[in-house]
Amino acid sequence: MSVTPLRIYPEVTQLGAALDTLLSDESEIYLITDSHVAAHCLPGLIEHSAACRHADILEVEPGEGSKSPEIAAHCWNHLAEAGATRHAKLVCLGGGVVTDLGGFIASTYKRGIPFVLLPTSLMAMADAAIGGKTGIDLGAAKNVVGTFARAEAVLVCPEWLASLPQREWESGLAEMLKHGLVANRAHWNTLLALGPGPAIPAELLETTAAIKLDICKADPWETGPRRLLNFGHTFGHALESTLLAAGKPIPHGHCIAAGMQAETILSANCGLLPREEADTIVQALMNLFAAPPEGWPTFDALEPFFHFDKKRTSRTTLNFTLLRATGEGIWDQEMEIEEACRAWTALISA
């Protein structure tokens, strides 16, 4: 499976024109979005895209709760009741939840219909919409059901970031920082020098997308090097699921940032990463991503959710991507659960 590159348009006017060219021969156009994006981004898109003015719109609630089998079934039923054929096309306008959910719906409805991604959050532009992964959650367990599916196009307009809340901008920044930590030290250093969001230079979006695309092109099915992109996610997904189950969800990127800190500590504990370098990375992430006022949950609270980790190959160990240096990750590092506990405990005790 090849992966779809990003096309970046400075203004919605240009993106709308590009989308109309892409959809010029389509008669069955559906558009999925959430209510927040429908209020802030959809009107401008409809103004500048004739195709979207005639689209059948599916609207879901914002937030991780919409990445569920129930919402997916609702969307499938909507398409079926509207008479959508295998020639229908689904436009996915939104953040990571909408691009994950919309891609999953499109890749499974009638065994797959074409879809286009229009990411509106930094998380989606920098990560979720890139690389051909789709997915939904099972309860609090993240991305347990999903597909590898190639979007027909990924069209990005940084103008949409102006309406992004600060915490959501930070969430996307976390994934960009991850790309730097596992594969490009210069990108990491450049991102650390950024001022507060939500604006971000288009060239940084291009760089972070290029890093991920290069990794995904080399390993589209995630059998090897693509696992570099899992850095921070073994702890991060367990943390996100724990907080979701407790009714205290926080943005995905904040969980990944905490996961990157714990996995950096683990990298040092097992002798891969010099301790001083690990301390520098952890402190930089702590400066950008504060722990919640009540602190992070204990390892015991996280542990049940490690069982849902797709990378796990043993009941007695956990599989991590770790760091050998800033800008150099290493995947498939099996660690005893006790070692993971020691790293997490060190982080939440700091």
Same domain? 41 vs 95: yes
Judge whether 205 lies within some domain: no
Same domain? 29 vs 136: yes
* Whole-number Å distance between alpha carbons of 2 and 260: 28
* Whole-number Å distance between alpha carbons of 230 and 129: 16
Same domain? 122 vs 230: no
φ/ψ of residue 294, rounded to 5: -85, 0
Judge whether 200 lies within some domain: no
Which residue in 70, 74, 68, 103 sits closest to 89, CA to CA? 103
Same domain? 76 vs 175: no
Judge whether 191 lies within some domain: no
The DSSP result for 273-294, as a single string, is S-HHHHHHHHHHHHHHSPPPTT
Q: Give the pTM.
A: 0.94
Per-residue tokens: 16: 């709308």
Judge whether 201 lies within some domain: no
pLDDT at res. 153: 97
Same domain? 150 vs 251: no
For residue 46, the surrounding DSSP H or E stretch is helix 42-48
User: In CATH, what number is assigned to the domain containing residue 82?
Assistant: 3.40.50.1970
221 DSSP assignment: T
Same domain? 146 vs 177: no
Same domain? 124 vs 159: yes
- Enumerate the β-bridge partners of residue 32: 58, 92
* Binned average pLDDT, 10 residues per bin, the chain of 350 residues: 88 97 93 97 97 97 96 98 97 98 98 98 96 94 94 96 90 97 98 83 94 95 95 97 93 97 98 98 96 94 90 85 98 96 96
Cα torsion 4, 223, 127, 34 to 10°: value is 80
Same domain? 175 vs 150: no
Same domain? 69 vs 104: yes
Q: How far apart are the first and last CA of the chain?
A: 43
* Whole-number Å distance between alpha carbons of 149 and 139: 23
pLDDT at res. 50: 96
Same domain? 327 vs 245: yes
Preceding peptide of 198 cis, ω within 30°? yes
Helical segments of 132-274, H only: 166-183, 185-192, 202-218, 233-245, 252-269
Question: What are the Cα distances from residue 282, in Å, to 15, 84, 279?
Answer: 38, 49, 5
Judge whether 196 lies within some domain: no
pLDDT at res. 177: 98
Judge whether 81 lies within some domain: yes
Judge whether 105 lies within some domain: yes
Per-residue tokens: 125: 């532009």
pLDDT at res. 26: 84
| Residues 6 or more apart whose Cβ sits within 8 Å of residue 237 | 142, 143, 255, 259, 305, 308, 309
pLDDT at res. 307: 86
Query: How many domains are there within the chain?
Result: 2
Per-residue tokens: 74: 């609702």
Cβ-based burial of 1 (10 A; exposed 0-12, middle 13-18, buried ≥19):
exposed
pLDDT at res. 200: 86
Same domain? 140 vs 20: yes
Judge whether 194 lies within some domain: no
Which residue in 139, 85, 128, 140 sits closest to 104, CA to CA? 128
A 10 A CB-CB count for 110 gives 14
Same domain? 121 vs 239: no
DSSP helix, strand, coil percent of the chain (3-state; round to 5): 55, 15, 30
pLDDT at res. 195: 76
Domain housing 96: 6-163
User: In CATH, what number is assigned to the domain containing residue 273?
Assistant: 1.20.1090.10
- Enumerate the β-bridge partners of residue 156: 8
